[in-house]
Structure 1
């Protein structure tokens, strides 16, 4: 399988997708983006722009609302919010050839979670995420490499990204295999300046990040409180701990 990632498409050129797009552009990759609306217009006019370490870094991007126009890619990075994935799946197929690697850089349990994992649950389709199997048909399991991002980025304006802190990216084959393509992808990400590592069980890393996201994040979103205030309140901390223990039990149940 080819491991030369020359053509890279970003699907979801927001905070994380835009950040990765700029970094990969500076390794020599030809970066494109599947976008629409204000983001599409901004990318076509100015490309991607990244505020990082007190400097503004630009990157040219071929942006289009049509996956057909962009064509088959070597690497597709899917960095959309989970609720948008079903709609994205309807339009993404022309980007994906037989040997295209699809890296998912999203929070939450992905549709491919039980591919190559889960014992008797191996291959189970998650009804809550992909009820009709449309996502799995559009993005075949054989193309997927899982990713977990440990970085904080935000969008100042369409196409203008700000990196705050962190540059960790854990990747892994859903099967846990140490393949040539996952090693090559890790090497590319490291050349881009990321602290990229390969996990022998990417599902565990996905779950570990979700363990924090499912507890502190909703409380912060509902109350506007920052982490120090949330964890400094005995009652709230106790509530979060109970949720984490429940999630721990679920995690243990699925292995």
Structure 2
């Protein structure tokens, strides 16, 4: 485990393995860099950097109330400190929102491409948006994080996987629930509150990086319309659907996910419009 000191003195943990084109892995809410453990298989050809975002994993600290902006600044600072060039950013869920901020800012020049895993441009629906969660669902999550975080975290750990959960996936889901529940509820509540305020639509048109949009066909969070919106909003994007996955294709179909990442990194080239690949 390595540590980067952010501009405000916070210590941000990350793993840095392998050599070659950098692959920067950014996890979802309540997770940590260890949720990309299956992507260690990429280290034979790539430099794989998995970050514990502020308030998560080994980057937790007393009294933290992180915001999406802080998390993005941390990642941008880490990319600069490591001298990354031509990197591929992989953002899963919350990590995708962080990645969009990084790519749309000055640090975007350090990245050659992006992979977005099962995320929407705006989490909470409103008058002009219906590709996220209902206001009632967003409020229910806010209340659950505040009032009964352990139950919320355990249930969320199960819900990220395609249902029903059986066989080897049961062990994986129980591990995810355990790891989610280890978090500090106030830190997670702060990140969630910040994420609910985000509207990445304003960022997407500023991102010229070739983008691979990964969606799980059995995601309980976002449907195919979410991926279609991103493909239309991003200048150079294509969609890959994983037919046996929910919200976490990198965990549920890791061999296929890793091959898709290899192919994407090898073929990085802007393409006009979006194409759909069904897997």
Task: Report the structure, 1 or 2, having the larger strand content.
Answer: 1
Q: Normalised by the shorter chain, which TM-score bucket?
A: 0.3 to 0.5
Could you state the TM-score of these two structures normalised by the residue count of structure 2? 0.33
Structure index of larger Rg: 1
Could you state the TM-score of these two structures normalised by the residue count of structure 1? 0.35
